[in-house]
């Protein structure tokens, strides 16, 4: 038993832009879960790959921001909630916007793969209860992201970028 990561590709252009997106999402989410001690637990995460238009609607309806955003996380059963024996904990859902991700990767001089893995890692940490609303929270979350991405061979996602712009993009 272990994590169950389901990836749904609603925007088929994802298959052209990043053909390995489903496998990358699963690997990145599982790595983040393992780093937090959730690697052997029965947990479920659903990842949906969208176009900006659909992500904009979600961002508007759930966060009051009428614009697309790179990744949204929708936590469901937090790590503290008890779940019935034999049923996986539904950690939540995550959505990613293709056009925004592609634009950000280009602006930040990153590969699509590296930026995608960063966003999945970021979203998974949100589902585990991490946030970046305060400077202290951001430092903790970013340190975890950096450690995971460096370990996976992608490098520090905050290095050689305008970190203020990157942090703003992840809010």
Q: How many domains does the chain have?
A: 1
Question: Using CB atoms within 10 A of its CB, is residue 16 exposed (0-12), middle (13-18) or buried (19+)?
Answer: exposed
Separation of first and last alpha carbons in the chain = 33
pLDDT band of residue 170 (cuts 50, 70, 90) is low
Enclosing domain of residue 144: 4-169
The CATH number covering residue 142 comes to: 3.40.390.30
Checking if the pLDDT of 1 tops 90, the result is no
Is the pLDDT reported for residue 141 higher than 60?
A: yes
The predicted structure's pLDDT at residue 78: 79
d(C-alpha 98, C-alpha 53), whole Å: 10
Asked if pLDDT for residue 168 goes beyond 60, the answer is no
Looking at residue 6, its pLDDT comes to 97
pLDDT tens, 51-80?
999 999 999 999 999 999 999 999 999 778
Tell how strand 43-50 and strand 89-97 pair up: parallel
**DSSP-based three-state secondary structure for 95:** strand
Return d(Cα 100, Cα 84) in angstroms, integer: 38
Among 45, 103, 46, smallest CA distance to 69 is for 103
Instruction: Mean pLDDT check: name the lowest of 36-40, 112-116, 162-166.
Output: 162-166
Residue 118 predicted with pLDDT over 90: yes
pLDDT at 162 over 60: no
Are 17 and 98 in contact by the 8 Å Cβ rule? The answer is: yes
Q: Give percent helix, percent strand, percent coil of the chain, each to the nearest 5.
A: 50, 15, 35
Q: What is the pLDDT of residues 12-55, one digit of tens each?
A: 999 999 999 999 999 999 999 999 998 888 899 999 999 999 99
> Token match 């979600």: residue?
58
- Provide the mean pLDDT of the chain: 92
Using a cut of 0.95, tell me whether the model's pTM lies above it.
no
């Amino acid at each position: 038993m272990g994590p169950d990561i389901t990836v749904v590709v609603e925007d088929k252009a994802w298959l052209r832009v990043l053909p390995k997106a489903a496998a990358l999402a699963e690997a990145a989410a599982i790595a983040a879960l393992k780093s937090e001690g959730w690697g052997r637990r029965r947990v479920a995460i659903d990842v949906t790959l969208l176009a900006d238009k659909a992500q904009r609607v979600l961002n508007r309806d759930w966060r009051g921001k009428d614009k697309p955003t790179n990744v949204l996380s929708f936590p469901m059963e937090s790590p503290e909630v008890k779940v019935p024996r034999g049923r996986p904990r539904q950690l939540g859902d995550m959505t990613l916007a293709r056009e925004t991700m592609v634009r950000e990767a280009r602006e930040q001089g990153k590969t699509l793969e590296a930026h995608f893995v960063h966003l999945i890692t970021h979203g998974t940490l949100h589902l585990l209860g991490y946030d970046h609303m305060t400077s202290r929270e951001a430092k903790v979350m970013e340190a975890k992201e950096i450690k995971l991405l460096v370990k996976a061979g992608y490098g520090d996602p905050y290095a050689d970028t305008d970190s203020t712009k990157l942090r703003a993009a992840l809010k």
